[in-house]
Each structure stands twice: as C-alpha cells, then as structure tokens.
Amino acid sequence: MQSEYLIIEQVYAAKESMQAADELIRAYLPFIRSETSKFFSRPCTEQDDEFSIAMIAFHEAIRGYEKNRGAFFTYASMIIRSRLIDYQRKESRHYGHLSLDEKKDEDGKTLMDTIASDDTVDDFVSLEATKQEIEELASVMKEYGIGFSDVSENSPKQERTLEACKKAIQFAVDNKQILDELLRTKKLPLARLVEGSGADRKTLERHRKYILAMLLIQTNGYEIIRGHLRHLLKTKGGNLA
C-alpha cells in the first residue's frame, strides 16, 4: 500500500470531490473485499450485498476521517466492521430462519407486513435501487461504446477544464432537445455544445466520454446517481435539474 502521508492526501482530496472519492474507492476495492471476507470468514465477491455495504462504509470512512484518528486504513477497517456488524444484526433480527409469510401476531400480520415499514427495508431498498441504477447505466453506456473506466480516465483534472465541461453539460440540460438528439443519434452533438456553451471545442473533444456519460445520466431518471454527482455539476446561479 502507498505511504500513509499520500493516502491522507488522497482522502482529503476525496472529501471535496466525488470523482476523487470514486477513484479512491476503485483503487482500494481489494482492501474492501479483503476486509469483508475476513469479517465473514468466507470469500466475498462484488456481487454480495455485504460487499456493497462495505463499499458504502469505506466512503463513509473517507468523509469522516481526520488526521487525529490515526492511520486511515485502520479507521476504514473499523467503520467497515461496524457497518457489517449492524447489517448482520439486522439480518438476524428481522429475517433469521422465519418464513416471511408466517403469522406474527393476533392481528394475523405476517413478518413481511411488520418489516415492510422498518428502516432496514428502507436501507435495503435504497441499496438495491442504487445497484440497479448503476447496472442500468453501465448497460446504456455500453451502447455508446463507453464504460466507467473510460469516464474516469477522461474526467477533467483541472478546475478550468472542469468548468468548461460543466458549462457544456448545463447547456444540454437546459436544452432538452440536445439530450433527445443524443439519444436519437447516439452521438455527442459537439458543435451545438460548443456554440451554446462557449466552451473550447478541443477541451470538449478531449473529455467527450466524460461529457457523454454525464449527459446520459440526465436522460433517464437516474435520481440516485445524479444526487451523488450534483455537487460536481453545480454552476453559478443554479444547479442541474
């Protein structure tokens, strides 16, 4: 693993940027998988719900970490373990070995009726919804010849470049016919984006895959993903719709 000084630097950068946070999470997926596997004493795959919970816990560790808490990975391991314990307890308490259709009380309510309003179900539904959005977006992006790794590699690294891309994205969001054209032709209308946003064409061309992914997120109700990205796409005078 990298030096602790560099890790701390990366964590603090990830606190300010969702893109940096995503990159940090992606870089340490083996660590997250290892911690999850150690906790459950069995191999963990990226398809396991527990792995998703551990990823969320790692992001929580990024947001909550301060230098006075000691080594970041020790802190992250503690947060992951804590969230997995919470998950294990909730699973045991609410599901156990009981049938969801078993009558639970004198009113004839089943266990499913009882847990339907429980916070655990809300958490589970939220987690499943997020996974479904990511899977759907990945499928749509594939039709356009891009993947999440392409987006990461093409993401703007400088503030000035990011601002130019944000202007182009905002212009497209404010002019829905551009999004319609994108879906219809499966091509990024660069000329219209340049003309409407005033951004430099070469800049937009260099980050075409990033802009394309951001616009696809705006087209099909990816509310959860948009919520995570919205702070990166803010413009002066308002937010993306």
How far is 234 from 241, CA to CA, in rounded Å? 10
Q: How confident is the model at residue 207 (pLDDT cuts 50, 70, 90)?
A: very high
How far is 23 from 14, CA to CA, in rounded Å? 8
Q: Tell me the mean pLDDT in the region 51-78.
A: 87
Provide the residue range defining the domain that includes 73. Answer: 1-97
Domain stops at, among 61, 80, 97: 97
Most confidently modeled range among 90-94, 105-109, 154-158, 208-212: 208-212
How far is 112 from 23, CA to CA, in rounded Å? 38
| Domain shared by 82 and 149, yes or no | no
Domain stops at, among 97, 128, 163: 97
Looking at 39-192, which runs of residues are DSSP E strands? none
Q: What percent of the chain has pLDDT over 70?
A: 71
Neighbouring C-beta atoms of residue 21, cutoff 10 Å: 20
Query: Of 210, 75, 81, nearest to 151 (Cα)?
Result: 210
Q: How confident is the model at residue 127 (pLDDT cuts 50, 70, 90)?
A: low
| Domain shared by 82 and 164, yes or no | no
- Asked, for residue 109, whether it belongs to a domain, the answer is no
How far is 167 from 209, CA to CA, in rounded Å? 16
Cβ atoms 187, 215 nearer than 8 A: no
- Asked, for residue 216, whether it belongs to a domain, the answer is yes
Asked if residue 165 has pLDDT above 50, the reply is yes
| Domain shared by 153 and 215, yes or no | yes
Return the exposure string of 51-75: e unless at least 16 CB atoms fall within 10 Å of the residue's CB, then b.
bbbbbbbbbebbeebeeeeeebbeb
| Domain shared by 92 and 148, yes or no | no
Residue at 127: amino acid letter: L
- Asked, for residue 53, whether it belongs to a domain, the answer is yes
pLDDT at 49: 83
pLDDT tens digits along 176-206: 889 888 888 988 999 999 999 999 999 999 9
Q: Flag the least confident range among 55-59, 186-190, 225-229.
A: 225-229
| Domain shared by 87 and 150, yes or no | no
| Average pLDDT across the chain, whole number | 76
Q: Tell me the mean pLDDT in the region 147-166.
A: 84
How far is 146 from 82, CA to CA, in rounded Å? 36
For residue 116, give Cα distances in angstroms to 88, 109, 111, 113, 124.
18, 11, 8, 5, 11
Number of independent structural domains in the chain: 2
Domain stops at, among 30, 64, 97: 97
Q: Nearest 5 degrees, angle CA 224-CA 81-CA 19?
A: 35
- Asked, for residue 185, whether it belongs to a domain, the answer is yes
- Asked, for residue 126, whether it belongs to a domain, the answer is no
Cβ atoms 140, 214 nearer than 8 A: no
Classify 44 in phi/psi space as left (phi over 0), alpha (psi -120 to 50) or beta. Answer: beta
pTM over 0.85: no
- Asked, for residue 62, whether it belongs to a domain, the answer is yes
| Domain shared by 88 and 151, yes or no | no
| Domain shared by 147 and 92, yes or no | no
Look-up: residue for tokens 């069995």?
Answer: 42
Q: How confident is the model at residue 222 (pLDDT cuts 50, 70, 90)?
A: low
Q: How confident is the model at residue 141 (pLDDT cuts 50, 70, 90)?
A: confident
> Partners of 238 in the beta sheet?
235
| Domain shared by 91 and 1, yes or no | yes
